[in-house]
Chain A
Amino acid sequence: MNSATGRVPLTPVGQNHPVASLDRVSKEYRSAGQPVRAVDGVSLEIFPGSFVALVGRSGCGKSTLLNLAGAMDFPTSGEVRLDGVATSSLDDAGLTRLRREKVGFIFQSFQLLPTLSVIENVELPLLLAGAPGAREAAKLRLDWVELESYAARLPHQLSGGQMQRVAIARALVHEPKLLLADEPTGNLDTVTGNLILALLRRIATEQNTAILMATHSSEAAALSDVVVHMRDGRIEQILQH
C-alpha cells in the first residue's frame, strides 16, 4: 500500500481502466445536529474482474461506501468516478443513466418486488432503462442462475437462496461493469450463503465483472481477491489474496 497517497491499485495495473475509482472520498451526515463522518477520506480503485470484500464493524461505513460507489449518493468531498465518469459532474438524471448502465445492486434482504413474477423482477432494470430484448436477456440470466423453471413464480414462493439468486440475475441482467453487494449472505444459512458466494466468485471470474461486497462473514472475505478493512469510515488495511 502506498500510504502516502492512500491510492491502492487493487488489481494488476495494466491496460485496464478502473471500473470505479474513489479519490479521497468523504461522506458526512448530520445526525442530531452533530456531523458524523460515515466515510472519511477513502481512496480506492476497483478493476474489472476483481472481487473486493469490505469488512469492518457495524457502522464503520461499508454501506455508505457502496452507495457512493454505486452513484446512489454524492460524496461530501472527494471524487467518485464510474467507468471514468465523475459522479459530481452529473445531475440526478445523469446519475440514473450511469447507474442503469454500469451498476447492479444486491441486498441482504433480496428486495424482490412481491407483485412481480421472477422473470418480471429480473427484466425490470432493462425495462426501466427502456432497453430492447428484456425478456430474452432475463431468461438467459435466469438460466445462468439455474432458475429458469421458476420464471413464472412469485417471489414469496421461493426459498431465501433462490430469492437471492433471482436478485443476482436481476443485478446482472443489464451486464453492469460493477456489482455492489451489501451483505448478500446475511439472511442465509451457511450452506446457502456459500452457494451464493461461489456464484459471485464465478461472476467476477467468468464475466469480468468487478464486485464490491460488504460483508461480516469471514468465508465471504476468504473467497474474494482483496479484503478491505474499514474502521470509523477509514480504510484500515488492505489484504490481497
Chain B
Amino acid sequence: MSRLTLFYRLILRPLFREPLRTALTVLAVALGVAVVLAIDLAGNAAAGSFRSSIETLMGDSDLEVTATGGLPDAVVGTLATLPYAIRVRPRIQDFVTVVATGQTVPLIAIDLIGESADQQIITVASGEEALKYPGNLDGVWLGSSLNAKAGSTIRLLINDHVRDYTVRGVFDDSAEGGAIVVMDIAVAQNELGRTGRVDSVLLKVPDSPPLAEWQSRLSGALPAGAMVRPVGSRTSENQRMLAAFRWNLRVLSYVALLVGGFLIYNTISVSVVRRRPEIGIVRALGASRRSVLAAFLAEAACFGFAGAVLGCALGRVLATGALKLLSATVQALYVSSRPGAIELTPASLVIALLIGVGMSVIAALPPASEAARVSPMEAMSRGQREYATRVHQGRDMLIALGLAAGGIICAVPPAIAGKPLFGYLSAILLIAASALAIPAVADGLLHTSAHGLQKIIGVEGLLASRSLIGSLRRTSVLVGALSTAIAMMTSVGIMVGSFRQTVTTWMNDQLQADLYLRPAGNPASDQHPTIPNELADQLAKLPGVAGLDRFRAYEFSYEGLPATLGAADFHAVQPFRKSAFLSGRSASDVYSDLQGNDAVVVSEPFAHKHHLRRGDSITLPLGDRRVPFHIVDVSYDYASEAGYVVMDRATLLQYLPDPDPSNLAIYVAPGFDLETVRAEVQKTIAGHDILIFSNRNLRAEAIRIFDRTFVITYALEAISIVVAVMGIAGALLALVVDRRREFGLLRFLGAATSQIRKLILVEAGLIGLLANLVGFVLGLALSFILIYVINKQSFGWTIQFHWPAAILVSSLAGVFLATILAGLYPARIAIRLNPIEVVHEE
C-alpha cells in the first residue's frame, strides 16, 4: 500500500469526519503560534522604535559626543577648531507635548544657521524648502504627521510652560517613524532653560584612520566627562536594557504553545487508539512500522502546518494589540518610544511555521511511536476499543520526583550573561515533573474520592471518576494541558500580586510628603522636564510648608547601559521612615553619609546590573568631568528598571550647576490644612504648567501604571487558558464519540438525558478540578522560581512574597467554570445520540 493511500485512509479521512474537533486542534496550535509571533513582532516594533525617534536626524554622522547633564557650548567650539576635517553638528533632544492632542513628541533642536550653510540640512527636510536657512529662527518645523500648516501656530508644552509657536515649515516625516518637532538650537536652549549647553554633538569623520582611532583621538581632546561613542550607541543601549524584559515576555509567550503541544499529544493519542484495528490491518497487509510512524507524525505535521498558517495571520492581528500594550510598558518603565511599524518578515513567518510544525511533530512522537509498535495481531484482536493505553504510573512518578529535585537544584546557580537560564531550566523541569506526576496523582485522587463523589454528586460522580480512571492517559494529558496554563496563571498572578504589594508597601514607606509637583506632560521614566528653581524657593516660603524636597534627574549612561542620575535634598526626612536600604540602616544615617561627600546611593536594579555593592566605588561622568563616588548603600527601588544613582543635591550642583528641579515634594506643617496649603501652592504656580499630586493621587497613579504594565502578561495567560479549554472541549467531543455506546447503554438502564449531560459536565468539572489542584501546586512552585530566581536575576528586584488571594481564587474558579462550560456542547451531542443505534455498535 502506498504511503499516501495509507496516510489518506488512516489519517485524513477520519479527520474530516470530525470537523469540529479537527478545527479546535488546529485553532489551539494557531493560537500558540500566534502568541509567539505576536510577541516577537510587537517586541521588535517596540524596541525598533528608539531608532526612529532618537536617531532621527543623525544623518550620516559617525560619532556622537555626550555628557551627563549636557555639553557646554564651548565643546562645540573646541571640536570645530580641531585640526581635522570633521563635520560638527550640535543637537538638543527632548520632548514636548502637543497641548491640543496631549501627544508627546520628540523635540530635536539643530543649528539651523550652521547646518543650512553646510547644505546638510536636507537630512530632515526630505526635499522641502522648509529647513533652509529661514532668516527667522523663531518658531518650529513640524513633521507632516502632526497635520499642521506652515504659517499657523501650534501650542506646545515645554517643561512647565505652554506657549504658541509659529509653524515655519512642514516636512515629510513618513520615514522618521512618527511626528517630530524641530527647533533652532539656540531657541531650544532658551525654551528648555539650558543656556550654554547642548545634549550631544554629532560628528562626521574622514574614513581613515578607523573609527576607534578617531574615538580615542577625540576623547583625548575633550573634557573627561564627555563620551565619544559611535552613533547609535544609545539605541543599542536601550535595546540591551530592554533585553531582559523582552526575553521574559518571549518565554511567557511560549506557554500557550506548550499547552498546544499537550493537545496535539492528546489528539494523536486519540487517533492512535481509535485506529488500532486499522493499524493492525495495514500492518498485516505489509505496511512497515516506519510508515505507520510516518503517517501519524504526518497527521501532527498537518495540524501543525494548518495551525501555523492560521497562527501567522492571527499573530499579525494580535501583534497590533500587543504592540499597544508593550509600548505603554516600555514608555512607563524604560524609555520614551514610539512604536515602530510591525514588520511581518519572511523570516519570522518561516520561524512561525517551523515552530508550529516542529512543536506538533515532537508532541506527536510518543503516541506515534506507540502506534508503530502495535503488532498486526494485537491490533486486530478484540477489546482494544477502550482508551486503555498503558500508563506507567509508578515509574513516571519516580522520574517526576527526580525532575523536581533537579528543578530545585537549578534554582540555585546564578544568571548566565544576565539571563536566568538555570531559572528557566528549573521552571521547565518542574513543569515536566508535574506532567509526569499527574497520572499517579489523578489515579490516587479519583480512586479515593469516587465514593465521596457519589455521595455528593450522585451516581454521575461515580461514573465520571471511574471513566476518568479508565482512560487515565487521556485524563492525564488534559489535566496536564490545563494545569500548565493554570500554573502559569497562578505563578504570574502570585508574582505580579507580590510585586504589586511590595511596591505599594515601598511607596507607603517612602512617599511621605503631602504634595508632589512635576511639570505637566506625559510621564516617562527617561524624561525629566524641569521647574524653575525660583518657583521652588517661593513655594518653600509659603505658610504651612514645613519642608520642600527638590529632586533633579538626568539620564546618563553607565558602562553601556542607560540609567537615571538623581539628586535630592533631604531637609524634610522623616525620622520614623522605614529603612529603604538593603543594609537595613535608617534613612537619616544614610543621608548624613551622603551630605558633603562624593557619595551615592544606588538602586537595587542598578546595583544588580553592574554588580555593585555597598562600599564599592563608581566613577560617574558628570558634565565635563569624571568623578569617583563611594556607594554608601543600595536602596530598594521599584520606580525604574534602568536604575537610579542618587546623591545629595549640593554635591550634584558642584558638578552640574543647573539648579532647576524636576520634581518637588512638599511637607505640610502640623496644624495646617492640606487643602489650604494646596490652594496656596496652586496660586503660586499659576502660569506654569505644573501638576500637583496629593500623596494618594501619586500612589494611585503609580499603581495604575504598574497595572497597565502587566496587562500584556494577563492577556498571555488568558490565551493559554483559552487554548487549554478549547483542547478540553475537543477532547470531550472525542470522548463522546468514543463512549457513545456507554451513553446509549445508560439510557437503556434508566438514565435520563439530564443525567448523561451531568455525567459529561462532571467529567469536565473533575478534569478542571484536578487541573486546578495540580496547576495551583505547580504554579506556587513556579512563583517562587519567578520571584526569587527569574525576576531577581533578570531585573534585580527584591519582591516580598504575597498571596493575591482574591484574584487567585476568582481566576481559579473562573477556569473551573470555563472547563465545565467546555463540556456543554459535547454533552449536547451525547444527548442527541440515539441509544438504540449506538448500543449495538461493536
A→B interface (CB under 8 Å): 63, 67, 70, 72-73, 92-93, 96, 99-100, 105, 107, 109, 111, 113-116, 120, 124-125, 127-130, 156, 170, 174
Contacts and interface: CB of A to CB of B under 8 A. Distances in A.
A124 B836 contact: no
B459 A127 contact: yes
A170 B754 CA distance: 22
A125 B752 CA distance: 11
Interface string B743-765: 00111111111110000000000
A120 B462 contact: yes
Given A92-B752, A115-B469, A129-B750, 14 more contacts: A63-B840, A67-B836, A70-B748, A72-B747, A92-B753, A96-B747, A96-B751, A96-B752, A96-B753, A125-B749, A127-B454, A128-B750, A128-B751, A128-B755
A114 B750 CA distance: 18
A114 B755 contact: no
Given A96-B752, A99-B750, A105-B748, A113 B742 contact: yes
Contact of A100 (B745, B750, B839): B750
B386 interface: yes
B411 to A, nearest CB: 40
Nearest to B386: A114
B842 interface: yes
A107 B836 CA distance: 12
B742 to A, nearest CB: 6
A130 B458 contact: yes
Most buried by A among B458, B747, B749: B749
B839 A111 contact: yes
A101 B755 CA distance: 16
B584 to A, nearest CB: 61
B406 interface: no
A116 B451 CA distance: 12
A72 B835 contact: yes
A128 B469 contact: no
Nearest to A98: B750
B839 A128 contact: no
B667 to A, nearest CB: 72
Q: Which 7 A-B pairs have the closest CB atoms?
A: A127-B459, A100-B750, A115-B470, A115-B466, A96-B752, A105-B748, A128-B751
A116 B470 CA distance: 9
A115 B383 CA distance: 13
A116 B459 CA distance: 12
B836 A127 contact: no
B467 interface: yes
Contacts of B470: 114-115
B467 to A, nearest CB: 5
Contacts of B835: 72
Interface in B700-756: 741-742, 745-755
Most buried by A among B748, B750, B840: B750
Interface residues of B, number: 29
A156 B752 CA distance: 27
Given A96-B750, A120-B462, A127-B459, A72 B467 contact: no
Nearest to B459: A127
A70 B748 CA distance: 9
A231 to B, nearest CB: 22
A149 B748 CA distance: 27
A156 B750 CA distance: 23
B738 to A, nearest CB: 12
Contact of A111 (B745, B751, B752): B745
A73 B752 CA distance: 14
A120 B450 CA distance: 12
28 contacts: A63-B840, A72-B747, A72-B748, A73-B836, A96-B747, A96-B751, A96-B752, A105-B748, A107-B840, A111-B741, A111-B839, A113-B742, A114-B470, A115-B466, A115-B467, A115-B469, A120-B466, A124-B459, A124-B746, A124-B749, A127-B454, A127-B462, A128-B459, A128-B746, A128-B751, A129-B750, A156-B383, A170-B749
B839 A125 contact: no
Most buried by A among B741, B753, B839: B839
A116 B466 contact: yes
A170 B750 CA distance: 11
B383 to A, nearest CB: 8
A100 B747 CA distance: 10
A110 to B, nearest CB: 10
Contacts of A113: 463, 466, 742, 745
A29 to B, nearest CB: 11
Contacts of B459: 124, 127-128, 130
B747 A125 contact: no
Contacts of A116: 462-463, 466
B548 to A, nearest CB: 76
Interface in B453-478: 454, 458-459, 462-463, 466-467, 469-470
Nearest to B748: A105
A105 B749 contact: yes
Nearest to B465: A115
Contacts of B752: 92-93, 96, 128
Contacts of B836: 67, 72-73
Contacts of B842: 109
